[in-house]
Structure 1
């Protein structure tokens, strides 16, 4: 390069003569320096260019993460008979109407089935999915059942107050039994017939008892007791008889208002006891008479109603044939079910069938008869039909359309189908309700629950056996829209689940109590087992969310919680075995998550941070106040117990066990002895412990009874098997008079020779007994006897 530059310069110098003041060496030096700078610049450019190219090739293009698709809330819609994505009409606002009770008797477990189920749905929608729910519920305080029951109660109580002599009561009861006997004879429903038979038997038994007391010249006290027993046994039958005679004479409207007011108050108390949230607005039929009249008039004006003999009926065929309308959207296959339609009209309207244009028409307004409450209307004095009540009250509060309407599945037809028809006839729309949700049936020990069949358990009685939390757990462990059986077996599942939760919470509380909560000591290094358990927690959250999106599937959600608790217990037990401390923060997160989930479900009422609260107390205060004394006592007991074990002092050990098993639990404290470690102290609600103990005792007695029954059956079978075949028929002298050499009968009691078919049958019985007898004798030890 340098030689080439020198050559070029020399030629240039010789040719043009320009380098007069610059020596050849200087030129050469400058040329070489310029050349170096030139190539250094090229190198730098090339290096920068390569670096830029390299960065461009290795830097990845940013892409959004590929997350899982978040499930959407779906609810089982009775209108479509499938799960539908829940889409409110107005942002996150949800209008909800719930069919309330007809308050003519005590609230029962059928009510609990519906209202606890809907309370769970409501809580999940507003507390988990964060919808703004506006919840309206009605109280039916005007109805055929209420009118009839009010009259019967009034007339029977008046009859009792008249203090009739025993002879009059006996005669009246016999008279009342005549129409009742006809009812029994003509009843086709086997369940109702069985109930009627039980009622008849009960009354006849009381009649005979009173007659026996009188005939045996017993004293007045015994006669009065038997007289009272007859009144109690015959109440329903005599009250119905009195109503048939004097019901039309009852004219005081206060009689028809006091009964529903009494049972409505009881209903609200029961709902509060069950931790069911109160409605945002409560409507009563008696308060909406003007609105009902206006609503009915517009249905007439729109061409879907007609007046007949002072009553107003819905013109079902006209509505069904109109463009954009369809009758019986929920249960179209039940149209024409005369029995269901009659029940929907009520017992006091059976004689009004001829007033209708069509058998499937139903009453919007009923002309009142003597002995019924009434209000003025354009069609005369009357009262609302059952179905119109909900259409009017729901529309008055929620408008011409709502997201959710709920009720028991037994209300689908005709009540809810009629509601839909009335409202859509009024508003001239085709979708008054967007999502119809129906709770499943409730059975009792496998049998249909029915107040009319007197096969029901009141909420008050149910709460004497189990806590509100236990009943709610029962419902949470079953799908809200499936049939649920209420009985000892299903409740045992709920109690076991509650115990699983209780023990887990108590264990976590004990761990948190005995580990540091602040500073460096509160945080431990995570090992693979902590990472694994935390993943289980995250998976549980995901799976619970998916379950709640799937028609609020609380059963699957609680199954997931059960598996999380099992995984946590395995983790805790491993650390207990290794004698190391488990990770406090991780276990606290798990327990807090489960607690919050149960709060959201309504199974925990208070704001305690973890676990079930202790009734009437604040658990934090208990620990702060009582724990030092309990720890001192527990340590003292541990020492005494250990000495008693070493010295084999049995009476002292018995007392230590008595304190642990009986005394402390009644005070709400549970001690759990551990090998080579201090006893674990756990706080519990004394009432819960008591009910647990009673339930376990009941189950134990049931198992013992079952075992004895099985043993009795086995003994009876063995006693039969022990009869020698030749003795099998010998004692049946009322049937047979002669026997052959084996002891098989040959002649009947009258001396007639048995037919061949009879002999064949008896011979077969003989051979069967012979096999049983020989088999039993083969198992007997010498000296047991051979039956001869």
Structure 2
């Protein structure tokens, strides 16, 4: 009888006998032998690779004056406050130094390292400089609108020049004095011309010189009018018109430089109630006091507290009277204001408004916020009691940023309002100090008339963000040269990609030792760039690593670009990888200006750019032109060849297209910035003209030499050497 088998169990027995389990009992069944079970094999232990040498991001922290590992307070989220501009004049290269530098840092930290950055920036639209400039501008415009006759204008400007002599005498700072002397001399020259025109009774000439006089005297005349009538201006709208105008210009300049807008933009004029509440709490905590309608921060009280320290950033500047005075503002350093303080180190949180100043209600009377408190209030309102990163220009360290830290930590009751303080370096112009107050600054728009925004950004990238940067012809030429070198490589790779199969079997080739080596060089470049960016966002070293890769790729393309049959032999995918990597880093640095994409692309050509659309048409045009040129060369049709050259040299550059004719190869098509092509075209014409002039010079010198020889032949022997007075002092009449 055969028993039904319910399940089988195999067991290793000493004698190797097989058993079956039947109805829960082991029973020997020789007819149903089950093979003995072997030992079960298991996976071996696995260990992850060691990668302890991987660099991490370090930033130079002004609070410690050294590079520190960057550790945000809240996971991957980074809160960031940047001191914005005081908008009373055109944005200049000093602004570019700060905002372009921190735009680069922001992009790298956000887009390369992958942090979730929330970036807040302020606009200072209430400030002593704005108040004074607004009054002067308003009174000057009124004066011009009154259409005074030339004699009145001449008399007023003469009074202005006499009053300004006393200002010159009182000025001690040599740079400021030099600026004032230039203003004064310009005014005197305009007065002289105006006086001469008035005496000539030439109405047209009087009008021209009157306009010139008003233009040259604008700043000094505006200041003179302000001293006479400035106290009578009380309308707050007059003080808001000027900053609104210059804020708009500032945003236009930042857009032109491809600087990302802030995630949150704050204006002082919108946060006056918050300023009042902030100051009230500081008073309640015992760190501020009211005096004659103004409120001052008690530096000694704050600094004496166990957990507080005044002047964290620049301890040595504690008590620097000159810096503290500049920080208070021109309208707030009169003798009566200074006497209101308990100590000259104390600074204003709230300023009682004097006649001719904007004002808002407060528990202490009509007044306005002090400069330092404004940033503390707005940053705290948006970002809270402790912020990861605070940035600004190095010139703001003391007293502005040190005062910010003190009043904010007094308000929040902590000692870590800012975790990382980053300061951009100074900017010089051809080695000289630049200052808006000294009127020797270069505006951003003036720079952009000569150089592109990409070239300017490259110049910044080629220098450390925290060190002094010198803007000059030499530094900009280095940036232009770098741009041209990299761009030519990328255009060449684009041509390779267009000229070889991009899909299917033909798109991939076997890698030789040369491709393996170039790929190693690409990986080395990537590692060096990463190491550089981890080291305080060292973009200069990163660009040098990319320059080395560009040289290596160019060398590879030159060696293996063509086979004897004229076909491409370089590895398409490897070249594409190199180009994509370089482009990715340049995009991270903000060198590629492009609109921010939102949502899915629309239309059938999703993701198609202008180059993809234009290239089929340009290829057809280039092929047609090649055919025409070849036939024209055969029949020696010079007129047709000239038209082909005109298309290449004049017509297509206006459209941003460069054609490069190659012997026994198809024409290379490159899409390049139109302005760059036009500059190349002008440079080529200038070079041709230079060569022509040099040729004419050589020809003229040869003709002159020949004429001199002919003239010498006609001189009698007795007179031949008498003209060489530098060699011979005297001749006798004897002939030996």
Given candidates 63, 72, 90, the residue that maps to 1:88 is 72
Alignment of 1:483-562 (within 5 A): 483-562=468-547
Aligned length: 648
How far is the alpha carbon of 1:461 from its aligned partner?
2.2
Structure 2 residue aligned with 1:5: none
Q: In the aligned structure 2, how far is the partner of 1:271 from the partner of 1:368?
A: 33
Relative to structure 1, is the Cα distance of residues 700 and 81 closer, same or farther in structure 2, using a 3 angstrom cutoff?
Answer: farther
Relative to structure 1, is the Cα distance of residues 323 and 783 closer, same or farther in structure 2, using a 3 angstrom cutoff?
Answer: farther
Relative to structure 1, is the Cα distance of residues 608 and 506 closer, same or farther in structure 2, using a 3 angstrom cutoff?
Answer: farther
Cα-to-partner distance string for 1:419-468 (whole Å, 9 max, x where unaligned): 00100111121111000011111112221121111111222222222222
Structure 2 residue aligned with 1:387: 372
Cα-to-partner distance string for 1:558-580 (whole Å, 9 max, x where unaligned): 11111111110101111236444
Structure 2 residue aligned with 1:733: none
Secondary structure of 1:136's partner? Answer: strand
Cα-to-partner distance string for 1:321-342 (whole Å, 9 max, x where unaligned): 2111111111111222222111
Q: In the aligned structure 2, how far is the partner of 1:174 from the partner of 1:230?
A: 11
Unaligned 5+ residue runs, structure 2?
1-38, 598-607, 695-719, 730-736
Q: In the aligned structure 1, how far is the partner of 2:465 from the partner of 2:174?
A: 29
Superposition RMSD in Å = 2.8
Relative to structure 1, is the Cα distance of residues 533 and 232 closer, same or farther in structure 2, using a 3 angstrom cutoff?
Answer: same
Secondary structure of 1:465's partner? Answer: coil
How far is the alpha carbon of 1:660 from its aligned partner?
3.0
How far is the alpha carbon of 1:636 from its aligned partner?
2.8
Q: In the aligned structure 1, how far is the partner of 2:367 from the partner of 2:423?
A: 31
Given candidates 123, 131, 140, the residue that maps to 1:156 is 140
Q: In the aligned structure 2, how far is the partner of 1:424 from the partner of 1:695?
A: 58
Given candidates 399, 409, 419, the residue that maps to 1:414 is 399
Q: In the aligned structure 2, how far is the partner of 1:396 from the partner of 1:490?
A: 41
Cα-to-partner distance string for 1:28-85 (whole Å, 9 max, x where unaligned): xxxxxxxxxxxxxxxxxxxxxxxx9xx99xx998654344611010001111111100
Unaligned 5+ residue runs, structure 1?
1-51, 610-615, 708-780
Given candidates 623, 631, 644, the residue that maps to 2:622 is 631
Q: In the alignment, is the contact (CA less than 8 A) between 1:140 and 1:284 conserved in 2? A: yes
Structure 1 residue aligned with 2:656: 668
Q: In the aligned structure 1, how far is the partner of 2:342 from the partner of 2:684?
A: 61
Q: Is 1:230 the equivalent of 2:230?
A: no
Q: In the alignment, is the contact (CA less than 8 A) between 2:120 and 2:264 conserved in 1? A: yes
Q: In the aligned structure 1, how far is the partner of 2:692 from the partner of 2:468?
A: 30
Structure 2 residue aligned with 1:38: none
More helix by share: 1
Q: In the alignment, is the contact (CA less than 8 A) between 1:638 and 1:678 conserved in 2? A: no
Structure 1 residue aligned with 2:235: 252
How far is the alpha carbon of 1:512 from its aligned partner?
0.5
Structure 2 residue aligned with 1:189: 173
Structure 1 residue aligned with 2:309: 326
TM-score normalised by L of structure 1 = 0.78
How far is the alpha carbon of 1:627 from its aligned partner?
2.4
Relative to structure 1, is the Cα distance of residues 500 and 343 closer, same or farther in structure 2, using a 3 angstrom cutoff?
Answer: same
Q: In the aligned structure 2, how far is the partner of 1:694 from the partner of 1:259?
A: 40
Structure 2 residue aligned with 1:212: 196
Structure 2 residue aligned with 1:426: 411
Structure 1 residue aligned with 2:570: 582
Q: In the alignment, is the contact (CA less than 8 A) between 1:641 and 1:656 conserved in 2? A: no
How far is the alpha carbon of 1:667 from its aligned partner?
2.3
How far is the alpha carbon of 1:554 from its aligned partner?
0.9
How far is the alpha carbon of 1:632 from its aligned partner?
2.1
Tell me which structure has the larger Cα radius of gyration: 1
Q: Is 1:403 the equivalent of 2:391?
A: no
How far is the alpha carbon of 1:186 from its aligned partner?
2.3
Structure 1 residue aligned with 2:182: 198
Relative to structure 1, is the Cα distance of residues 702 and 387 closer, same or farther in structure 2, using a 3 angstrom cutoff?
Answer: farther
Secondary structure of 1:94's partner? Answer: strand
Higher mean C-alpha displacement, 266-275 vs 74-83: 266-275
Structure 1 residue aligned with 2:224: 241
Given candidates 58, 69, 82, the residue that maps to 1:98 is 82
Q: In the aligned structure 1, how far is the partner of 2:446 from the partner of 2:679?
A: 14
Q: In the alignment, is the contact (CA less than 8 A) between 2:161 and 2:188 conserved in 1? A: no
Secondary structure of 1:682's partner? Answer: strand
Q: In the alignment, is the contact (CA less than 8 A) between 1:668 and 1:683 conserved in 2? A: yes
Q: In the alignment, is the contact (CA less than 8 A) between 1:407 and 1:439 conserved in 2? A: yes
Q: In the aligned structure 1, how far is the partner of 2:504 from the partner of 2:390?
A: 52
Q: In the aligned structure 1, how far is the partner of 2:52 from the partner of 2:518?
A: 21
How far is the alpha carbon of 1:380 from its aligned partner?
0.9
Structure 2 residue aligned with 1:440: 425
Q: Is 1:595 the equivalent of 2:578?
A: no
Relative to structure 1, is the Cα distance of residues 478 and 680 closer, same or farther in structure 2, using a 3 angstrom cutoff?
Answer: same
Q: Is 1:122 the equivalent of 2:106?
A: yes
Structure 1 residue aligned with 2:257: 274
Q: In the aligned structure 1, how far is the partner of 2:75 from the partner of 2:527?
A: 25
How far is the alpha carbon of 1:654 from its aligned partner?
5.8
Structure 2 residue aligned with 1:621: 613
Cα-to-partner distance string for 1:88-107 (whole Å, 9 max, x where unaligned): 01101111001011111111
Secondary structure of 2:397's partner? Answer: helix
Q: In the aligned structure 2, how far is the partner of 1:321 from the partner of 1:526?
A: 71
Q: In the aligned structure 2, how far is the partner of 1:359 from the partner of 1:306?
A: 14
Q: In the aligned structure 1, how far is the partner of 2:723 from the partner of 2:63?
A: 71
Q: In the aligned structure 2, how far is the partner of 1:700 from the partner of 1:360?
A: 66
Q: In the alignment, is the contact (CA less than 8 A) between 2:629 and 2:640 conserved in 1? A: no
Q: In the aligned structure 2, how far is the partner of 1:703 from the partner of 1:169?
A: 54
Given candidates 323, 326, 337, the residue that maps to 1:343 is 326
Q: Is 1:303 the equivalent of 2:291?
A: no
Q: In the alignment, is the contact (CA less than 8 A) between 2:649 and 2:681 conserved in 1? A: no
Relative to structure 1, is the Cα distance of residues 704 and 305 closer, same or farther in structure 2, using a 3 angstrom cutoff?
Answer: farther
Q: In the alignment, is the contact (CA less than 8 A) between 2:302 and 2:410 conserved in 1? A: yes
Cα-to-partner distance string for 1:748-785 (whole Å, 9 max, x where unaligned): xxxxxxxxxxxxxxxxxxxxxxxxxxxxxxxxx98984
How far is the alpha carbon of 1:486 from its aligned partner?
1.7
Q: In the alignment, is the contact (CA less than 8 A) between 1:156 and 1:242 conserved in 2? A: yes
Structure 2 residue aligned with 1:358: 343
Q: In the alignment, is the contact (CA less than 8 A) between 1:465 and 1:691 conserved in 2? A: no
How far is the alpha carbon of 1:488 from its aligned partner?
1.6
